[in-house]
Chains A and B, each alone.
Chain A
Amino acid sequence: AQSVAQPEDQVNVAEGNPLTVKCTYSVSGNPYLFWYVQYPNRGLQFLLKYITGDNLVKGSYGFEAEFNKSQTSFHLKKPSALVSDSALYFCAVRDGNGGSQGNLIFGKGTKLSVKP
């Protein structure tokens, strides 16, 4: 069965410091991995994805994520956090053997709090 784990309920970072939000996954086939961000009273906004190719993928708002097959991880990173990055972050996965489409399995979310 496919699953996603986000081990931290909350991550606290000072503005200007690097941030990491952790995600590990389990799928039977090739993983397609995604990060979404949710601001209060808003929908899920797509940040970035890993389908194939370079293990380091870059996305919106300066975020990047590193795919690590041996550790089955896809951690979200940013070199310098902003207060405006404070939000709820969701990691999602699906089995890539089904083609370009298919339902996403979400982690429970990690609340990122960036303090000035």
Chain B
Amino acid sequence: EPEVTQTPSHQVTQMGQEVILRCVPISNHLYFYWYRQILGQKVEFLVSFYNNEISEKSEIFDDQFSVERPDGSNFTLKIRSTKLEDSAMYFCASSAFYEQYFGPGTRLTVT
């Protein structure tokens, strides 16, 4: 069964550094999403992406964040200058119709 994959599974970075989180969505899906979950809190929407552009973003998704689909398979989330409060589990999701399919997540730790 096809599934969403994410790399790395765990990323440790220093405050102020740039990080890129990578996702490979399910191959025939056209809609892509990033969510995050801070430890002990709800899963929160960050951004959605369709047809090579952002279709919706939350207030969390400020100028420090960007997304890209650099080729036909990858979907990336870049955080330009990480802050301590960016520490969270980041989930990528893709969708063809109504339901979204999630990857296993990348745990980002900012020190």
Residues of A within 8 A of B (CB): 32, 34, 36, 41-46, 49, 51, 90, 92, 100-109
Question: How many interface residues does chain B have, given as a range?
Answer: 20 to 34
> Shortest beta-carbon distance, A4 to chain B, in Å?
9
Given contacts A101-B48, A106-B43, contact A46 B105 (CB under 8 A): no
C-alpha gap A14/B31 in the complex (Å): 40
Q: Would A101 and B45 count as touching, CB distance under 8 A?
A: no
In the complex, what residues of B have CB within 8 A of residue A45's CB? 102
CB interface residues, B 30-56, toward A, < 8 Å: 31, 33, 35, 41-45, 48, 50, 55-56
Are A100's CB and B97's CB within 8 A? yes
Q: Please give, as numbers and ranges, the residues of chain B lying within 8 Å of A41 by CB-CB distance.
A: 104
**What's the Cα separation between A9 and B103 when bound, in Å?**
24
Asked whether, in the complex, the Cβ of A43 is within 8 Å of the Cβ of B48, the reply is no
CB-defined A-B contacts under 8 Å, sample of 16: A34-B99, A43-B4, A43-B91, A44-B91, A44-B102, A46-B99, A46-B101, A101-B55, A101-B95, A102-B48, A103-B45, A103-B58, A104-B35, A104-B100, A106-B44, A108-B41
- Given A44-B93, A49-B98, A104-B43: 14 more A-B contacts, CB < 8 Å: A32-B98, A34-B100, A36-B102, A43-B6, A44-B91, A44-B102, A46-B100, A46-B101, A90-B43, A92-B43, A100-B97, A101-B95, A103-B48, A104-B35
Report chain B residues within 8 Å CB of A90. 43
Total contacts A-B at CB 8 Å: 53
Q: Which of B's residues lie within 8 Å of A, judged by CB?
A: 4, 6, 31, 33, 35, 41-45, 48, 50, 55-56, 58, 91, 93, 95, 97-105
Partner of A43 from the list B33, B97, B103 (CB cut-off 8 Å) is B103
Known: A36-B102, A43-B105. A101 touches B91 (CB 8 A): no
A58, B70: Cα distance in complex, Å: 38
> Residue among A34, A49, A90, A102 with the most chain B CB within 10 A?
A102
